[in-house]
A and B are shown apart, each in its own frame.
Chain A
Amino acid sequence: KAGVTQTPRYLIKTRGQQVTLSCSPISGHRSVSWYQQTPGQGLQFLFEYFSETQRNKGNFPGRFSGRQFSNSRSEMNVSTLELGDSALYLCASSLDGRYQPQHFGDGTRLSIL
């Protein structure tokens, strides 16, 4: 069974631009969560989607948004990029996002110049 796939693996953007990251979950998994990982703040939860609906959201500004498609694939969008958005963005999928464990992808490394 294929694991969680995140694309692209690396991304370089400049301040003010916007970016879209993609996550394909493990087949059959309907829950997709996104996390931001930085050296200073560690791992922080962004949001979770289940069956195309956002069920939970972390404490991030509105510039961070996401969506989920009918095939459970998810995208995360960050608008008006800031230097502080430089981070590793991790996606995790789970059967239900509650009782079943989350399995992570390799992440997208986003660098803002």
Chain B
Amino acid sequence: AQTVTQSQPEMSVQEAETVTLSCTYDTSESDYYLFWYKQPPSRQMILVIRQEAYKQQNATENRFSVNFQKAAKSFSLKISDSQLGDAAMYFCAYRSLTAGGTSYGKLTFGQGTILTVHP
């Protein structure tokens, strides 16, 4: 079974600064997706960024970028020019792409990292 670990329960950053959230995962599979989701106090889980395991190039979405190290099974999220609206719980998630029913619709989540942004 796959596992996802976020070793930083809490992180803080000053507005306009850069912060990196860590995520490691354990899998024996070669085909999968990795995601970062953001959950503000409003509860809705919002997709931040997605990485396909077969792509060597790191994904970027505006101020958000990832450092994907497949061999090390590491998937960190970098937030540049942090804004007050970035404050939230951030979850790293894994989705298998192996054949078979156990991969359908299932995300395996880490425990989350609470990000605080100071003005």
Contacts and interface: CB of A to CB of B under 8 A. Distances in A.
B58 to A, nearest CB: 17
A103 B34 CA distance: 15
B85 interface: no
Given A43-B109, A98-B104, A103-B47, 14 more contacts: A32-B105, A33-B105, A35-B107, A50-B104, A55-B105, A56-B101, A56-B104, A56-B106, A90-B45, A92-B105, A102-B47, A102-B107, A104-B44, A106-B44
Contacts of A94: 105
B97 A98 contact: yes
B44 A107 contact: yes
B56 interface: no
Interface of A: 31-33, 35, 42-43, 45, 47-50, 55-56, 58, 88, 90, 92, 94, 97-99, 101-107, 109
A104 to B, nearest CB: 4
Please classify the interface of chain A as helix (H, G, I), strand (E, B), loop, or mixed, using the class held by over half of its residues: strand
Nearest to A33: B105
Q: Which 3 A/B pairs are nearest by Cβ-Cβ distance?
A: A48-B105, A104-B45, A97-B105
A50 to B, nearest CB: 7
Interface residues of B, number: 24
A12 to B, nearest CB: 17
14 contacts: A33-B107, A42-B110, A45-B108, A47-B105, A48-B106, A56-B102, A56-B103, A56-B105, A56-B106, A88-B43, A92-B105, A92-B107, A98-B97, A102-B107
Contacts of B44: 104-107
A35 B43 CA distance: 13
